[in-house]
């Protein structure tokens, strides 16, 4: 772990995508899957860990670091390496993985050792798989806080292409929920919100290098004026919500059945070891 700085800047929640691949193809996906840009220019784990290390060196501290995708559990070994590297930086009080819950085999025992919270975004899942997750986590990783993010009310229509006036964009920025909860690190940059990163508007992010200072981060995160991308932010326009997690096919029930079978086998194995 690196040496602590006397002066720090705290980010409540910081998101970090390790892959743009996903098991789902949700309509109005907030991360633009299947067109989500790659989260890194080079090897993802090394590049993202270096960015976090440079932020830590500058004096940034994070309350909750959320590891996302795409779907982060789609490649279990990638997730395992990422969690180990990110944890070693020491920038975050809590390390969280956000998943759709359909590929639990990607959560290896080593990965679970690094996780403080596992958040399952529930898109059309039944009660059976949720119960299996509760049982499995209680047996193999009781230290992990398991939460389910329900999406019954729907979500914002991200794919609509609209643009508002500068005056309205500033008002939306002043009241923005996302910039207080969705700061993001991608492609060697810190973004004030995930939407800007997913739109590949890298010029609206802050390049993070070994020379980045705390004043640089403060000036960017506490900026007064809206960014150009804010004028196209449909989530802040108050549009009618759309159903969450709508798929073009039956992939959710198919993947859900496989996940339940895998969880059942893991639960039986864990219970047998207890006996």
Mapping DSSP to helix (H, G, I), strand (E, B) and coil, where does residue 233 land?
Answer: coil
What's the whole-number mean pLDDT along residues 85-98? 98
Q: pTM of the predicted model, to two decimals?
A: 0.92
pLDDT at 156: 82
CA distances from 269 to 32, 76, 107, 137 (A): 38, 20, 16, 13
Q: Are 120 and 134 in contact (CB under 8 A)?
A: no
Q: What percent of the chain has pLDDT over 70?
A: 97
- Which CATH number belongs to the domain containing residue 145 in this structure? 3.20.20
4 located within any domain: no
User: Residue 195's closest CA among 229, 226, 164, 160?
Assistant: 229
Q: How far apart are CA 41 and CA 187, in angstroms?
A: 6
Residue 61, Cβ density class (10 Å: 0-12 exposed, 13-18 middle, ≥19 buried):
middle
What's the whole-number mean pLDDT along residues 80-100? 98
Domain range spanning residue 190?
9-274
Q: What share of the chain is helix, strand, coil (3-state, %, to 5)?
A: 40, 20, 40
> Looking at the 3D structure of the chain, how many domains does it have?
1
For 186-245, the pLDDT digits (tens) are 999 999 999 999 999 999 999 999 999 999 999 999 999 999 999 999 889 988 999 999
pLDDT at 261: 98
2 located within any domain: no
Contacts with 250 (C-beta within 8 Å, 6 or more apart), sequence order: none
C-alpha 226 chain-centroid distance: 23
Contacts with 125 (C-beta within 8 Å, 6 or more apart), sequence order: 101, 252, 256
pLDDT at 30: 82
Query: From the CA atom positions of the chain, what is the Rg in Å?
Result: 19
């Amino acid at each position: 772990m690196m040496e602590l700085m006397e002066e720090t800047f705290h980010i409540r929640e910081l998101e970090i995508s390790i892959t743009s691949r996903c098991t789902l193809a949700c309509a109005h996906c907030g991360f633009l899957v299947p067109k989500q840009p790659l989260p890194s220019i080079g090897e993802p784990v090394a590049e993202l860990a270096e960015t976090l290390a440079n932020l830590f060196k500058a004096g940034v501290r994070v309350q909750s670091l959320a590891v996302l995708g795409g779907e982060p559990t789609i490649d279990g070994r990638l997730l395992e390496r990422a969690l180990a590297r990110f944890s070693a930086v020491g920038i975050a009080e809590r390390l969280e993985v956000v998943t759709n819950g359909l590929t639990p085999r990607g959560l290896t025992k080593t990965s679970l050792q690094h996780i403080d919270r596992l958040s399952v975004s529930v898109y059309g899942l039944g009660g059976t798989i949720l119960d299996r997750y509760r049982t499995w986590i209680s047996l193999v990783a009781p230290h992990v806080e398991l939460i389910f993010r329900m999406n019954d009310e729907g979500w914002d229509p991200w794919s609509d292409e609209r643009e508002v006036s500068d005056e309205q964009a500033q008002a939306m920025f002043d009241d923005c929920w996302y910039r207080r909860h969705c700061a993001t690190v991608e492609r060697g940059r810190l973004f004030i919100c995930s939407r800007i990163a997913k739109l590949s508007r890298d010029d609206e992010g802050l390049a993070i290098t070994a020379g980045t200072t705390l004043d640089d981060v403060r000036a960017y995160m506490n900026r007064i004026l809206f960014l150009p991308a804010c004028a196209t932010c449909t989530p802040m326009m108050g549009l009618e919500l759309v159903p969450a997690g709508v798929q073009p096919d039956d992939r959710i029930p198919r993947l859900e059945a496989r996940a339940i079978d895998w969880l059942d086998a893991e639960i039986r194995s864990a219970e047998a070891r207890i006996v």
